[in-house]
Amino acid sequence: MSSEWRRSTLGRVATLQRGYDLPHRKRTRGDVPVVTSSGFGDTHGVAVVKGPGVVTGRYGTIGEVFYVQADFWPLNTTLFVRDFHGNDPLFVSYLLRTVDFQSHSGKSGVPGVNRNDIHELAVQVPSPDEQRRIAAALSDVDALLAKLDQLIAKKRDLKQAAMQQLLPGHLRLAGHDEPWPRARLGDLFDFRNGVNADKRAYGRGIQFINVLEVITRPHLTADHVPGRVLLARGMQETFAVRRGDVLFNRTSETQGEVALASAYIDDTPMVFGGFVIRGRPKAQRLDALYAGYGLRAPEVRQQLVARGQGAIRSNVGQAELSAVEIRLPCVREQQSIAAVLSDMDTELAALEARRDKTRQLKQGMMQALLTGRIRLT
């Protein structure tokens, strides 16, 4: 460590103080941000702390750190920096993000972060000039991440809008004008309920697709399936998942969510669980890639929810799925629609991968810059 860096305690670099009570009934109209343990919430007409400032959670959400440029009101569920002792506020915000607040929560027997414990943590800090250079470099990465998040949100909205127009046939792609007849899912798929294995069988064996994967992944690959179950070979074949299979979630408020088993699972044996129904195409009228989009259309979900059974938890069985009707374009138009939506998914995946890689790089930068392993000139 360079001699320009000094050893200290966190309390001598940034003194933390508990925020202030502000019940909703006492809040007045204004543009002063009210900062909670989970970030920026309401606004108020009066500020009690001058910006720029730094806030972190004392109760509730612990470990998040928020940099506040303007004057603000930190709630009593937070800790804010009362005194920066001449240090750069933005640098301090990054320094606090390296603190493991969770390990100091309830340490003294009282729930929440104890600021006295935090104040005693040993830290090393550079000169104010170097602090500003470090903060500027990390801030530039944060700005890039914010732009990526905005772009991803925009692309998701565009894809959602495209699905809402293309899947019901409100918008037709060039070169397609054939009518869309109605078809029952029972005429398009053979359905089977998933396996209910003994609880001792889980955690080993072949990969096992459960409800969570179905409701979070429209296109499944082996990388998305962390679970495993031990089954006899005959059961593995009975409950196998193949390319082109469609998996439905059969229960609860996410009922009707559907995932398409991707081509990438061909060499990976997988089975599916009891709260999932497998639909295996039995007709050439349905393109496999289109199925992963078309069966997520709102009209399908609405029919499934309406047909759900159960006093406490709504369930959809094979009979209910078979009776659902969809408007089905010809295979050529299905492929055209699927190609448009698949291209959007590919673009989204690339942006998300870039964002995730940038986040990883930022973590490495923080560790290197805030410990002096990398110096900025």
Each residue's pLDDT tens digit, 54-106: 999 988 888 899 999 999 999 999 999 999 999 999 999 999 999 988 877 65
Task: State pLDDT tens for residues 256-271.
Answer: 566 666 644 567 788 9
Higher pLDDT, 300 or 66: 66
Min mean pLDDT across 134-138, 142-146, 183-187, 317-321 is at 317-321
Q: Name the percent of the chain lying above pLDDT 70.
A: 91
pLDDT of residue 215: 77
Higher pLDDT, 221 or 331: 331
- Flag whether pLDDT at 107 surpasses 90: no
Q: Name the percent of the chain lying above pLDDT 90.
A: 56
Is residue 293 very low, low, confident or very high in pLDDT (cuts 50, 70, 90)? confident
The number of angstroms, rounded, from the C-alpha of 152 to the middle of its chain's C-alpha atoms is: 12
Is residue 311 very low, low, confident or very high in pLDDT (cuts 50, 70, 90)? very low
* 3-class SS shares of the chain: helix, strand, coil, % to 5: 40, 25, 35
- The chain-wide mean pLDDT, for the chain, equals 88
pLDDT of residue 175: 93
Task: State pLDDT tens for residues 108-165.
Answer: 555 678 888 899 999 999 999 999 999 999 999 999 999 999 999 999 999 999 999 9
What domains are there in the chain, each with its CATH number?
A: 6-125 (3.90.220.20), 182-328 (3.90.220.20)
Closest CA relative to residue 91, chosen from 47, 137, 122, 27: 137
Q: How far apart are CA 203 and CA 225, in angstroms?
A: 12
Q: What is the mean pLDDT of residues 296-325?
A: 75
- Flag whether pLDDT at 12 surpasses 50: yes
pLDDT of residue 268: 78
- Flag whether pLDDT at 305 surpasses 90: no
- Flag whether pLDDT at 3 surpasses 70: no
Higher pLDDT, 180 or 249: 180
pTM over 0.85: no
**Strand segments (E) across 96-235:** 122-125, 182-184, 189-193, 202-209, 219-220, 228-229
**Strand segments (E) across the chain:** 6-9, 15-18, 32-36, 39-44, 53-57, 65-68, 73-74, 78-83, 122-125, 182-184, 189-193, 202-209, 219-220, 228-229, 246-249, 258-261, 270-272, 276-281, 325-327
